[in-house]
Amino acid sequence: MTLSYHLTNQQARHLILLRQGLIGPKDYQGKTGTLNFIREIGSLQFDPIDICGRNADLTLLSRIAGYRKSDLEELLYTDRRLIDYFDKNLGIFPITEFQSFYYHKKWFQERSHSIDDIDTIRALITAAIKEKTYVAANDFDMNQKVDWDWGQNKLSRAALEYLYHSGELLIHHKDNTRKYYTLPEMVLSDLELVALKIHSHRNERLTLG
């Protein structure tokens, strides 16, 4: 037997707002609530433009009791419970989901521009990170420009973005819109690294059939 429900427009609007956490009591509180909310919704778009607040902060502020901007920063770059990475757009999601982006990483590894040029400084970037813990594009004194997804760009920036998209680097932290990159093994636990490696090998076997 199929059940049917009839809602008025007002009831439907109320239900949507309630489900989105925009009305009614706030079920999530503080930093723990922020983590649980993002786990619940799966992914939160992360637009760095900040006029009256970044969209991620505004979204969380309207839904999380006692939310502070530092809660999100700590979950991303100190506690490492969340990660910012591309899920169609730049998004924030639980670090445990990072292993699911094998195909995006593989696509980027195979189809990016200027890979040969990037390969010439890959070892230089790795060595610099091992020495300094993290690097930004302006840490490298090079003026060579290469074709990149958004037009011509400095080789250092293109290389860091390529290694980030392909999963070889993670964001260590950000200073406004400036990104600082690091190696996964410098910020993730051994258990998390093993999980990523196992998942990648499993997906590679599935790809090969």
Is residue 126 one of the residues assigned to a domain? Answer: yes
Instruction: Supply the mean pLDDT for the chain.
Output: 86
Looking at the chain, the whole-number percentage of residues with pLDDT higher than 70 is 89
Based on the fold, state whether residues 48 and 141 are members of the same structural domain.
no
Of 98, 25, 20, 33, the residue nearest 71 (C-alpha): 33
143 has a pLDDT exceeding 90: no
Domains held by the chain: number: 2
Based on the fold, state whether residues 204 and 109 are members of the same structural domain.
yes
Q: How confident is the model at residue 176 (pLDDT cuts 50, 70, 90)?
A: confident
Q: How confident is the model at residue 194 (pLDDT cuts 50, 70, 90)?
A: low
Based on the fold, state whether residues 204 and 104 are members of the same structural domain.
yes
Based on the fold, state whether residues 68 and 167 are members of the same structural domain.
no
41 has a pLDDT exceeding 70: yes
> Can you give the residue range of the structural domain that contains 72?
9-79
CA atoms of 1 and 80, how far apart (whole Å) = 47
Q: Which of 22, 48, 79 is the last residue of a domain?
A: 79
Q: For position 47, what pLDDT does the model report?
A: 86
Based on the fold, state whether residues 107 and 44 are members of the same structural domain.
no
Kindly report, residue by residue over 98-123, the tens digit of the pLDDT: 877 777 777 777 777 788 898 999 99
Is residue 25 one of the residues assigned to a domain? Answer: yes
Of 101, 99, 33, 40, the residue nearest 72 (C-alpha): 33
203 has a pLDDT exceeding 70: no
The secondary element (H helix, E strand) that includes residue 84 is: strand 82-87
- CA 106 vs CA 162, 163, 195: distances in Å: 11, 11, 17
Based on the fold, state whether residues 198 and 107 are members of the same structural domain.
yes
Query: Exposure string (b/e) for 22-31, b if CB count within 10 Å is 16 or more?
Result: eeeebebeeb
Based on the fold, state whether residues 204 and 114 are members of the same structural domain.
yes
Based on the fold, state whether residues 105 and 196 are members of the same structural domain.
yes
Of 187, 84, 181, the residue nearest 140 (C-alpha): 181
- CA 181 vs CA 23, 45, 128, 162, 170: distances in Å: 38, 20, 11, 11, 6
Mean pLDDT over 1-17 rounds to 89
Based on the fold, state whether residues 127 and 170 are members of the same structural domain.
yes
